[in-house]
Every structure is written in C-alpha cells, then in structure tokens.
Amino acid sequence: MVDKDLLSIQEARALVRAARSAQPVLQEAGQESVDALVEAIAKAGAEKAEELAIMASEETGFGKWKDKKQKNIQATVRLVEYYKGMKTLGIIRDDLEKKIVEIATPMGVIAGLLPSTNPTSTTLYNAIIALMSGNAIVFSPHPGAVKCITAAVNLVKGVLKAQGLPEELVGVISVPTIEGTAELMKLTDMIIATGGAAMVKAAYSSGTPALGVGPGNVPAFIERSADVDVAVKKILSSKTFDNGTVCASEQSIVTEACIADRVKKSLVAQGAYFLTGDALEAMKRVMERPNGAMNPAVVGRSPADLAKIAGIKIPAGTTILVAEEEGIGPKFPFSKEKLTSLLGFYTVNDWQEACEICFKLLKNGGLGHSMGIHSNNETVIREFALKKPVSRFLVNTPTTQGAVGITTHLPPSFTLGCGTVGGSATSENVGPQHLFNIRRMAYGLDAPCAKPAAGGEGTLDVEAVTSLIMDQLKKMSAVR
C-alpha cells in the first residue's frame, strides 16, 4: 500500500527541483519574451474560460459556472491588460539625477496554495503574476479541486511549450496532503496562500517568506442618503455572484432604522427571502459544524439548495436568504463569514452606531479585508473610511466585483491582502510587483555615473549595465 503522505512529499521535492532548474531559463529570456508568454497564457485562458469554469463547478459543487467563467477572464485577459508595459525583469528604473538604478530580480520558485472556492481563476492568476516576474511556481491544490486546478496548470504548460520554454516552470502536486504542502512551503522561496485562516497561519509559520490572505466578513452599510433600490441591487448582484464564494462578498447588511423598512421591501422585491421562526432555526442548525466552523456542504450553494439541506420551504425564484441577527459573535452564525447565499441583517439608529456594528462584524472574522458603503453623504463616507480596519473600502459598488477590480480601478486580483491588522504581509491586491526583489545600484554623490553612453555625458550605458547584471544573475543561479 502506497503511503500518500510520503508520495506527496516526494512529489513536492521533485516538482521544486525541476522548477528550480527551469527558472533561470525564463529569467534569461528577458522582458520581451516574458511579456509574450503572459499574453499567450491570457489568450489561452480566455479561450478555455468556460470549459475550466464548468469543470470547477462540477468538481467542487460550488457556485455558478457562468460567474466562474467571468472570474477566469478577469484572472487572465484583464489582468494582463492592467499590467501591460510594466517592467518586471532587469532594469526597471533609471534615475539619472539621483544616480540610482533599480533592478528587478525574481524570487525563484513560488509555492501557490489554492482554495476550492475560486480554484481555476486563482491558479491562472497566480501562474501569470509569478511567470511575469520571472519566477517558477508549484501549486498545492485543495483536495476537492485537484482535477480543475490540474487542467488550468496543464493549459499554462501547453503555452510554455509552444513558446519554447520549459514546462517545469509550472507544476502541481497530484496527491495533495498536509505533509506534502508543508514540504513544498519549506523548499520554495516565497509562498502565496489563498484560503482559510489555518492555511495562512501555516504559511507564515513555515519559515519561508509568505503572502497570506485571510477571510473576509464584509459588512455593507446602507446609509440614509443612499438610493435604496440601487444599493440593494448592487449588493444582491455581488452576493449572488458565484453564490457568494468570493471572500469579498457581503456577509451582512447594516442600515438605519429610518430607512430599514424600505431596505427590507426592496430586498424582498428583488428576490430576497427573510428567514424567521422554525425555518431560521433549521438553517442555523446546518450552517455550521459543532466546532463553529462553516459546514462545507452549504458553501457556494443556491437558496434552493440551502433550503433542501435545511429541510425548509422557500418561494420559487428566491435570490438570497436573509436573517435579522440579534448579536455578533460565536453564538450568532449570521454574524460570521458565509461563503454562500446567506446574508445577515442589522438595524441601527444612526451612522455612528453603524460604525460600531461594522467594526464588531469585522472583528468577528474579517479584520483587514473589505467593507462596503452605499451613501451620498461624503462626510459619512470619509468618517467610515478613516476608522474602519480594512484594506479595501468600497463606495457605492458591489464589494465582490469592486474588490477584485471588475467595477473599480483596483488591480485585478484573486489574492487580496489584509494588512497586518488581518495577519497579512500586505494590504494590497497582490500582483507581479510583490514577486520580485529590487536591487538598487547607487553611485556615490561625488562619483561619475557610469561609462558615458552615446547619448552624451552624464547618462548611463544601460545596455552595458544590463548585460553585466544578467551575467551576474546567471552566475548566481548556477551557484544556487
């Protein structure tokens, strides 16, 4: 009988070894080749976006394939368009006045830890930003999404081969185990951990530099000056997107008593159903495991699926299930992150009380992530933005689409940093700029700049400097 743990560890070692051997080839290929590569991956990803989306939905049972298709496109075409022209290899900045040259150097081999909620989009996204920065990447897939993640990796491998680059630049563990993932994290140069708190904690405890992104418990405040119907429409378009599997999706609506009835009426008119009495208690019983963790059986499910699981009846065509929650904390399941078609609902007296409730909701499992507000009162908007411990404060936009850069100008990303308040090393939407080191070549204030180039006195011979740097990097890779 084969020991899965040992097999996984051996596979992780072999994949990292192969990736480390292949990585210098990409680094030496240069910026132009890397740009052509990621554009080709984006094109191939867009062509297979629907196929991968259907695979992900069928394998995991989570979400809607049509929305997953949109996420795949966001993770490829829109991502590459956003960063088009960005320098990620060699000299990226040449400051003649201060006599400083900045040189981007790849980190080496990245470990990508992947979730089951957004499997193919996160795979494609992380592969592109790693390769764009001259790195190789090896993935540890969620056990419930191995097939679709492997398909996404194979797509990238096919593009690498067509571009004349080693397929080993991208790899995936076929037998994922905790032990294999631990070995992968230990052997690589940087970790991108996208998933639950336990995964992120393991990444930061591995001894390898890591970019971990935590859970979101996103409150959405509808303030009295908002257009209620528009606000509700945006919240529902966000929460129903892929059945709420994006960590930036709204988890609770907070609104003022003076407009609460209008908000409820608008929710119902747009397909929401308020759970009460026995139906609410039945849903609470199936939402969580005995230890308080979310029940995987309800993740990414439609309202009809949830009703069936809970054994309750809901109106046909229901778009979301809502419950008026009495408090915040472990005993109140609707106050937690719910990556499914469930929303909590809170009524407050004024925006000051809303500010306190939103803070408590964030503290209950979403610190550092995201928050939404729907308001036309700029003073209130600014007060919230200044005080809320989030990395993305999203104004009058769906938080799901806004956080990942679909309805905002935020960088396209499926790896959303939560800052130190959320236990993350960055508060940004993770991109290629987070996956290379910068070497700064600084000339003495009283020293000549460099060998004068044809352009005249006081300019750097960039071609000569680049050639020298690339020679040094080759030698360093050989030693490594």
Phi and psi, residue 195, nearest 5°: 165, -150
Which residue's entry shows tokens 């032990």? 179
Q: How far is Cα 390 from Cα 173, in angstroms, rounded to an integer?
A: 34
3-state secondary structure at position 252: strand
Listed in sequence order, the residues at least 6 apart from 198 whose beta carbon sits closer than 8 Å to its beta carbon are: none
- Closest-CA residue to 222 (of 272, 178, 258, 269): 258
Q: How far is Cα 190 from Cα 108, in angstroms, rounded to an integer?
A: 8
Q: Which two tokens stand for residue 327?
A: 């408090």
Q: How far is Cα 12 from Cα 4, in angstroms, rounded to an integer?
A: 12
DSSP character at residue 425: S
Query: Where in the sequence numbering do the catalytic residues fall?
Result: 247
- Closest-CA residue to 414 (of 406, 134, 154): 406
β partners of residue 347: 255
Q: How far is Cα 357 from Cα 217, in angstroms, rounded to an integer?
A: 12
CB 37 within 8 A of CB 133: no
Full DSSP string of 109-134: EEEEE--SSSHHHHHHHHHHHHHHTT
DSSP character at residue 294: B
End-to-end CA distance of the chain: 37
Which residue's entry shows tokens 């915040």? 328
Task: Categorise residue 220: left if φ over 0, alpha if ψ from -120 to 50, beta otherwise.
Answer: beta
Strand positions, DSSP E, 295-453: 320-324, 342-348, 368-374, 390-395, 436-442
CB 134 within 8 A of CB 110: no
Q: How far is Cα 466 from Cα 26, in angstroms, rounded to an integer?
A: 16
CB 36 within 8 A of CB 159: no
CB atoms under 10 Å from CB of 67, counted, come to 18
Element spanning 219, H or E: strand 218-222
